Amino acid sequence: MSSNVTRPAFSCSEVNRGLTNIGPETHPLTWRYSTHGQSILDIKTYEAMEGYAALRKALTEMKPADVQAEIKASGLRGRGGAGFPTGVKWSLIPMGPDAGAKYMVCNADEMEPGTFKDRMLMETNPHQLVESMIVSAYAIQAKRAYIFLRGEYIEAAERLNAAIQEAHAAGYLGENILGSGWGVDLMVHTGAGRYICGEETALINSLEGRRANPRSKPPFPQIAGLWGRPTIVNNVETVSNVPAILLRGADWFKGLSQGLSGDAGTKLYGVSGRVKHPGLWELPIGITCRELLYNHAGGMREGLEMVTWLPGGASTDFLMPEHLDLAMDYDTIMKNGSRLGTGLIMVVDNRHNIVSVVRNLEQFFARESCGWCTPCRDGLPWTVKLLQSIEAGQGQAGDLETLDQMTRFLGPGKTFCALAPGAMEPLQSALKFFRPEFEKGIAAADSQQSGNSFR
Amino acid sequence: MNKIILTQRGAPYEMAAEDRAEIEHSLHHYDDPRAASIDALKVIQRRHGWVPNNAIREIALILQIPDSDVEGVATFYNRIYRSPVGRHVITVCDSIGCFLTGFEEVYAALQQRLGIKPGQTTSDNRFTLIPTCCLGACDRGPVLMINDDTYFNLTVDQLDALLEKYA
Ligand SMILES: Cc1cc2nc3c(=O)[nH]c(=O)nc-3n(C[C@H](O)[C@H](O)[C@H](O)COP(=O)(O)O)c2cc1C
Ligand code: SF4
Ligand code: FES
């Protein structure tokens, strides 16, 4: 396996292209990278840019309950896809002297197709995540913290491990941090593939060295998680907001959305597909997709038209051009039949056949199913087969109705985790918006009668 | 990956001392030895390119868990290989982001140049080709990895030069 090939030159997503006036007051997640002009890899540079100031403040001026209260008041919601209020999640963790061992876990598995935001945060600013994890661990009084990082993120692993070493040497990790009497250790655990590891209970099983099947809930991880102990799992982007909230306050964080949304803070938005300038932008939560796509990503490439878009990953419902003016926040996108998901949009242009697009999506889900629940394990490969025959113009009468049925049989509440319902979101919305495209793939009735059934 | 597996189950596995030390060290990262199973499989795979049968038992002995549990883990995760692979493993993202930017053309050209289908190894044992899900760089698709190196914005005419780098 070894090779003497030199590693390809490091390359990062384009971040905040075209944005001006980037600073700590407006861009808590990316201002350091954007103003420094390159990744912040050494602790001195990070410290010179307010680095570890929030940790110092938390450990010297705030009790764990104060940190939790500030996060709750800030309105921060989980950026891993579900949008669950972070402060509420934290408040479910048992506190007090009898609470025993607890764990803080960062979900850095980032495998939702279309998503590349956590990679950027870790590659450009590893100390920011390290500080965020230490402060979050303090808030819940965890004895140990883990970053569950997907194995393919080689640079992120190297950079995080180097940052952890520097943080140890500087007294920010280990025992008695900053003389507070409290201490924690932080470890990077690298995975070995499989999308399902991102589901938080599957992630816990994986971290325990088991197959990454999700767990039946309840109990939720806040009560019984890693090794049966109370555990918080938060996404990279979620925890990365924590230090800035402690430094500048919950009210400042709420104001970041500039009244565009009832949600608080900024969001890392991204655009991919055949647009002029794909990339990532940190913007007030609640900007419209139109602004993101046309003002920031430059619109479609020459000669292409947008047909439909996915607002936040493979497991979100398609939205249409008429939805471009919706605020990209959790509640608005939900009310309009989809989910914000990870907030990184994918644009489908007019050169694509929508049936092929959906077939590709369902192939992904079919392959990544962990196999525990029958509807998911058997329904997804069946869905793929139906889509393949429709794509080839050989669908049979009743196939679309079978697909409709799948969206119910694999829908919410039928399986142990959200993979199967997530897989049905693009399918059900495509069947709703593009039904004639699917109908075109149903072979004419007479060719079916003439024995065209050997599939 | 249709190779004959040369190492027979039952033959003792001679674990390299530094591999054993590394696995034993990683036990300290967790509250339960089982948690080191993925780390251990990776250590073995780094040495052989894949995980031979009899190494499963050796890992199980170190972690004090049943062989079948180690095997269960080894076969679950797609980046642990339980059959031999070529000297270089190419993993191509076939998820929707790269689909939208045209990975299929690059993937077909790659198969044609290597003369193999996904899941196979070239007859000179140089490359194994495997599809994988989103590599987290959808803004720069199509994307693939060769071993630990990631390549972005791929086009068909770059492929020859790219493969040349891996002897
Ligand atoms: C199939 C599946 C895959 C998921 N993958 C990820 C992931 O890669 N990263 C992530 O942060 N959350 C992922 N999630 C969501 C997590 O289960 C969990 O909600 C999240 O980590 C909670 O963090 P947050 O509250 O900070 O968003 C996934 C969920 C499912 C059902
Ligand atoms: S829904 Fe699918 S991925 Fe989720 S637990 Fe069931 S079988 Fe596994
Ligand atoms: S879909 Fe290929 S890198 Fe994300």
Q: pLDDT tens digit string along B43-99?
A: 999 999 999 999 999 999 999 999 999 999 999 999 999 999 999 999 999 999 999
pLDDT on residue A8? 76
Interface ipTM: 0.94
The DSSP result for A353-401, as a single string, is -HHHHHHHHHHHHHHH--S-SHHHHHHHHHHHHHHHHHHTT-B-TTHHH
CATH 3.40.30.10 assigned to domain B88-164? The reply is yes
pTM above 0.90, yes or no: yes
Segment holding A102, helix H or strand E: none
Using the Cβ of B35 and the Cβ atoms of chain A, whether some distance falls under 8 Å is answered with yes
A202 CA to middle of ligand 1, Å? 10
CATH topology of domain B17-76: Arc Repressor Mutant, subunit A (1.10.10)
| Fold: same for B17-76 and B88-164 | no
Residue A89, helix vs strand vs coil? helix
**Atom number, ligand 3, closest to the C-alpha of residue B134:** 4
Task: Name the one residue in this structure whose structure tokens are 């009310």.
Answer: A335
Residue A163, helix vs strand vs coil? helix
pLDDT reading at B10 higher than 70: no
Residue to substitute from B28, B99, B150, interface A, most A β-carbons within 10 A: B99
A199 CA to middle of ligand 1, Å? 5
pLDDT on residue A10? 77
Is it true that the peptide bond before A8 is cis, omega within 30 degrees of 0? Answer: no
Q: Which residues, 6+ apart, have CB-to-CB distance to A216 below 8 Å?
A: A416
Q: Give burial (CB, 10 Å; 0-12/13-18/19+) of B13.
A: middle
C-alpha distances (whole Å) from A70 to each of A66, A67, A84, A448 are: 6, 5, 16, 65
pLDDT on residue A455? 44
Nearest CA in chain B to A185: B29
Cβ A13–B94 below 8 Å, yes or no? no
pLDDT on residue A450? 47
**Atom number, ligand 3, closest to the C-alpha of residue A116:** 4
- CB contact at 8 A, A427 and A358: yes
Candidates B42, B73, B138; nearest CB to A113: B138
pLDDT on residue A444? 73
The whole-angstrom separation of Cα B48 and Cα B57 is 16
Taking alpha carbons only, the member of A299, A263, A306, A312 closest to residue A284 is: A263
pLDDT on residue A268? 98
Token digits of residue A22: 């980037």
Using the Cβ of B141 and the Cβ atoms of chain A, whether some distance falls under 8 Å is answered with yes
In chain A, residues with a C-beta closer than 8 Å to the C-beta of B130 are: none
The whole-angstrom separation of Cα A414 and Cα A424 is 12
Q: Where are the domains of chain B?
A: 17-76, 88-164
pLDDT on residue A6? 63
pLDDT less than 70: residues of chain A: 1-6, 445-455
A38 CA to middle of ligand 3, Å? 24
